[in-house]
Chains A and B, each alone.
Chain A
Amino acid sequence: ETGVTQSPTHLIKTRGQQVTLRCSSQSGHNTVSWYQQALGQGPQFIFQYYREEENGRGNFPPRFSGLQFPNYSSELNVNALELDDSALYLCASSLEGPTPGNTIYFGEGSWLTVV
């Protein structure tokens, strides 16, 4: 039990639609990251939020966007879904201070299938 919960656990969307995935981080964790994990591959860093501001981004297009809220919850939004967006989306929270690199706690993920 990592204290990080994600919803929904599974969903199916049609190409072109929009999706919002939600994450509730561990209480007190000021940093949340989102990852995309395709089947049989390692997680790919999408972006990170620290105190409600995006402070790092991977190689994902602008149609991937996010929000972090003061109550330690966050969202990942994906617009104009493509078939290749089908993957497990993982939320990870941590408590970052002046020296980054603390333990990262992953949620169980949201399985997205785009048809």
Chain B
Amino acid sequence: GQQVMQIPQYQHVQEGEDFTTYCNSSTTLSNIQWYKQRPGGHPVFLIQLVKSGEVKKQKRLTFQFGEAKKNSSLHITATQTTDVGTYFCAGRVSGTYKYIFGTGTRLKVLA
């Protein structure tokens, strides 16, 4: 079936270090969204990427969508303790209204 895998599953970094999570889909996606979920909270929309090869930046966060529209990445520069949480990608399966969430990457930032 359709799957979206994320790596790594967990990442512990020292405050100030960079962090990257990767998302890989078994099928082509029409678009991909990224979410952040704090412990005990709900997913919060961060950004959406639609075009092949698209790169978007939000302050210290850089998002990329692969040329084949099957993979994506989120890179955080100089992490802060406020970046703690689980980051999910969610890909929209081409030709459907269905979003498949990735397995998530739990980020812990050590002060």
| A-to-B contact residues, CB < 8 Å | 2, 33, 35, 41-45, 48, 50, 55-59, 90, 96, 100-109
Contact = CB atoms under 8 A, between A and B. Distances in A.
B45 A100 contact: no
Nearest to B92: A101
B59 interface: no
Interface string B24-51: 0000001101010000011111001010
A57 B35 CA distance: 21
B99 A33 contact: yes
User: Which secondary structure dominates chain B's binding surface?
Assistant: strand
24 contacts: A2-B44, A33-B99, A41-B103, A41-B104, A42-B90, A42-B101, A42-B103, A44-B101, A48-B97, A55-B97, A96-B97, A100-B97, A101-B31, A101-B33, A101-B48, A101-B92, A104-B33, A104-B99, A105-B45, A106-B42, A106-B44, A107-B42, A108-B41, A109-B42
Nearest to B102: A42
A45 B104 contact: no
Interface of B: 1, 30-31, 33, 35, 41-45, 48, 50, 88, 90, 92, 96-104
Interface of A: prevailing SS: loop
Q: Which of A41, A43, A107 counts the most chain B CB atoms within 10 A?
A: A43
A49 to B, nearest CB: 10
A12 to B, nearest CB: 18
Which of B44, B88, B90 has the most C-beta atoms of chain A within 10 angstroms of its own C-beta?
B90
Given A42-B90, A56-B98, A106-B43, 18 more contacts: A2-B42, A41-B104, A42-B88, A42-B103, A42-B104, A44-B101, A45-B100, A55-B97, A56-B96, A100-B30, A100-B92, A100-B97, A101-B31, A101-B48, A101-B50, A102-B48, A103-B45, A108-B42
